[in-house]
């Protein structure tokens, strides 16, 4: 099993560009999460999903969108990139909210 | 609202014991997680507490007091590889399945 995979690993965007961060898991997790982590800081929850077709906002959803059409995939969309979105983005999956989260390796995004 | 507090940084000596505290104020509580994160890597799971008391797992133990909104992670026989950030996370604010993280504690181990 590959676990939780994220692509790309690194990306540089210009202000106003858009992109999709991909997240795929092969662990049959119902729950999936997107976090961002600024330098020296903890994780901030952007969006999460408790199953296919269901998504909810986290602490910092502004400027992002998600979809969950399948159990395996949970892409994160940035429509108009801003320098404030420069961060490391982690996707995670779990069997339930009482279960441990398995994190992907992260995507390092810079917006210039 | 919700608030999770941890010390920003701590330093300890190889072979010693260190306790990392976490206090939380949330409108609902359904469990507390501890994760370890090495620099440049993803977090990995250490422990989960939902009931009061101490959970021991090898060199690591985690304690929870729900009435005090308090948890700690105890690391024994410290090794250089324990140099990392330790993240406290609380589950289930308002029973909506969110898991909210604190800012993390950076632990430095000295030889």
Which tens digits make up the pLDDT trace of B28-86?
Answer: 788 999 999 999 999 999 999 999 999 999 999 999 999 999 999 999 999 999 999 99
Cα separation, B82 vs B76, in Å, equals: 10
pLDDT band at A112 (very low <50, low <70, confident <90, very high): very high
Backbone angles phi, psi at A6, to 5 degrees: -130, 140
Question: Is A90's CB within 8 Å of B50's CB?
Answer: no
The pLDDT assigned to B27 comes to 73
pLDDT band at A52 (very low <50, low <70, confident <90, very high): very high
Q: What is the mean pLDDT of chain A?
A: 94
pLDDT band at A103 (very low <50, low <70, confident <90, very high): very high
**Least confident range of A12-26, A70-84, B79-93:** B79-93
Question: Is B101's CB within 8 Å of A35's CB?
Answer: yes
**Cα B74 off chain centre by:** 9
The pLDDT assigned to B30 comes to 81
Q: What angle do CA B65, B70, B71 make, to 5 degrees?
A: 85
Give chain B positions within 8 Å (CB) of A98.
Answer: 30-31, 48, 50, 91
User: A43 CB contacts (<8 Å, ≥6 apart)?
Assistant: A35, A36, A37, A90, B43, B87, B89, B101
Mean pLDDT of A66-75: 97
The pLDDT assigned to A96 comes to 73
The pLDDT assigned to A97 comes to 65
Comparison of pLDDT for A96 and A87, the residue scoring more: A87
Cα separation, A93 vs B19, in Å, equals: 28
Helix, strand or coil for residue B64? strand
Q: Which residues pair with B21 in a beta bridge?
A: B72
Cα separation values, A7 from A1, A25, A55, A86, Å: 17, 12, 20, 16
Nearest residue to A25 (alpha-carbon basis) of A60, A59, A63, A68: A68
- Pick from B45, B96, B106: CB nearest A101: B45
- From the CA of A108, how many Å to the nearest CA of chain B? 10
The pLDDT assigned to A23 comes to 98
pLDDT band at A1 (very low <50, low <70, confident <90, very high): confident
A91, pLDDT greater than 90: yes
> In chain B, which residue's Cα lies nearest the Cα of A41?
B103
Cα separation, B43 vs B37, in Å, equals: 4
The pLDDT assigned to A70 comes to 96
The pair of three-digit structure tokens given for residue B88, joined into one six-digit string = 């406290």
- From the CA of B97, how many Å to the nearest CA of chain A? 6
B97, pLDDT greater than 90: no
The runs of H, that is alpha helices, within B1-111 are none
B95, pLDDT greater than 60: no
pLDDT band at A98 (very low <50, low <70, confident <90, very high): confident
- From the CA of A100, how many Å to the nearest CA of chain B? 6
Going by the DSSP 8-state scheme, the letter that residue A15 receives in this structure is T
| Contact (Cβ atoms closer than 8 angstroms) between residue B110 and residue B11 | yes
A24, pLDDT greater than 60: yes
Cα separation, B94 vs B72, in Å, equals: 23
- Pick from B41, B43, B91: CB nearest A97: B91
């Amino acid at each position: 099993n590959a676990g939780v995979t994220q692509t790309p690993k690194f990306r540089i965007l210009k202000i106003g560009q858009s992109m999709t961060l991909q997240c795929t898991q092969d662990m049959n997790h119902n729950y999936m999460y997107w976090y961002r982590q600024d330098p020296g800081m903890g994780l901030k929850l952007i969006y999460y999903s408790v199953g296919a077709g269901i998504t909810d906002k986290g602490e910092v959803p502004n400027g992002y969108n998600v979809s969950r059409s399948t159990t395996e995939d949970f892409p994160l969309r940035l429509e108009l990139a801003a320098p404030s979105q420069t961060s490391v983005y982690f996707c995670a999956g779990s069997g339930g909210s009482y279960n441990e989260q398995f994190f992907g390796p992260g995507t390092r995004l810079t917006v210039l | 609202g919700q608030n999770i507090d941890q010390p920003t940084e701590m330093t300890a000596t190889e072979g010693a014991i260190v306790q990392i505290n976490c206090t939380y104020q949330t409108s609902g509580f359904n469990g507390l997680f501890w994760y370890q994160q090495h620099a440049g890597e993803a977090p990995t799971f250490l422990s989960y507490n939902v009931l009061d008391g101490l959970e021991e797992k090898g060199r690591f133990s985690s304690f929870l007091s729900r009435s005090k909104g308090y948890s700690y992670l105890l690391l024994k026989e410290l090794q250089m590889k324990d140099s990392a950030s330790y993240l406290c996370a609380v589950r289930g604010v308002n029973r909506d399945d969110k898991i909210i993280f604190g800012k993390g504690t950076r632990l430095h181990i000295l030889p």
